[in-house]
Chains A and B, each alone.
Chain A
Amino acid sequence: AQKVTQAQTEISVVEKEDVTLDCVYETRDTTYYLFWYKQPPSGELVFLIRRNSFDEQNEISGRYSWNFQKSTSSFNFTITASQVVDSAVYFCALSEPFTMQAGTALIFGKGTTLSVSS
């Protein structure tokens, strides 16, 4: 069955530290998509990145970088030089395999709460 595991429930760091949020997924399909979302204290869900199963290139966007490794079924997210504004709950998600039709749901991990202190 499809599943997303974020083993780290809470992480606390001090500003300027680097932090990596882990995401491990399970799927039987060869074609799937992975996502990261951020939920700041204000509550909205903000899309960060999408990655398809055929593209294992790492991606960097400013202080954010993502490491996708199919061999370990992981899609980890690193924040470099963390800032207080990075404090949020971060969700990893998987697009449901088998039926890549319209309306396919996202399967979310339980989220990792990141607290960055000054």
Chain B
Amino acid sequence: DTAVSQTPKYLVTQMGNDKSIKCEQNLGHDTMYWYKQDSKKFLKIMFSYNNKELIINETVPNRFSPKSPDKAHLNLHINSLELGDSAVYFCASSPPRPTYEQYFGPGTRLTVT
């Protein structure tokens, strides 16, 4: 029943490691996003994909690489994790027109030690 799901919900790892966060939506939407919420709750777009095509790639370190194997999935891979990467990462999806609201996943809390 879950519309937008993310795994894992919590991720604790050490500096220098590589990790991935998976996102899946069953809403039939064409567009998916990754947002980062920092410790002060500020939400900022990282990437967006439409029909597996990269649309937005904000000034995010190239250690972050999104991958969209199909329209229902958008995964986020992070190389060489740093302390500053600790945050909550939200996946979202929406119909292609930006007039529609975005539906968010439950978030993945990443802690880098």
Cβ of A1: which chain B residues have Cβ within 8 Å of it?
none
Q: Is A25 an interface residue (CB 8 A)?
A: no
Q: Is the CB of B42 within 8 A of A45?
A: no
Give bound CA distance, A100 to B94, whole Å. Answer: 13
Chain B, range 3-17, C-beta contacts under 8 Å to A: none
Cβ of A44: which chain B residues have Cβ within 8 Å of it?
104-107
Q: Which of B35, B50, B98, B109 contacts A96 (CB 8 A)?
A: B98
Q: Is A58 an interface residue (CB 8 A)?
A: no
Q: Which of B41, B88, B104, B109 contacts A111 (CB 8 A)?
A: B41
Q: Is B48 an interface residue (CB 8 A)?
A: yes
Known: A89-B41, A106-B102. 19 other contacts (CB 8 A): A43-B88, A44-B106, A45-B104, A45-B107, A47-B101, A47-B104, A100-B98, A101-B55, A101-B98, A102-B50, A102-B96, A103-B48, A103-B55, A104-B48, A104-B55, A105-B48, A107-B45, A111-B42, A111-B43
Q: Is A63 an interface residue (CB 8 A)?
A: no
Query: Number of residues in A with C-beta < 8 Å to the partner?
Result: 26
Q: Is B31 an interface residue (CB 8 A)?
A: yes
**Interfacial residues, chain A to chain B (CB-CB below 8 A):** 33, 35, 37, 39, 43-45, 47, 50, 52, 89, 91, 95-96, 100-108, 110-111, 113
Q: Is the CB of A45 within 8 A of B98?
A: no
Q: Is B64 an interface residue (CB 8 A)?
A: no
Q: Which of B45, B48, B96, B102 contacts A47 (CB 8 A)?
A: B102
Closest Cβ of chain A: how far from B47's Cβ, in Å?
9
Closest Cβ of chain A: how far from B34's Cβ, in Å?
10
Give bound CA distance, A105 to B106, whole Å. Answer: 18
12 A–B contacts, CB within 8 A, in A order = A39-B41, A45-B90, A47-B104, A89-B41, A100-B97, A101-B50, A101-B55, A101-B98, A106-B35, A108-B44, A110-B42, A113-B41
Give bound CA distance, A89 to B41, whole Å. Answer: 9
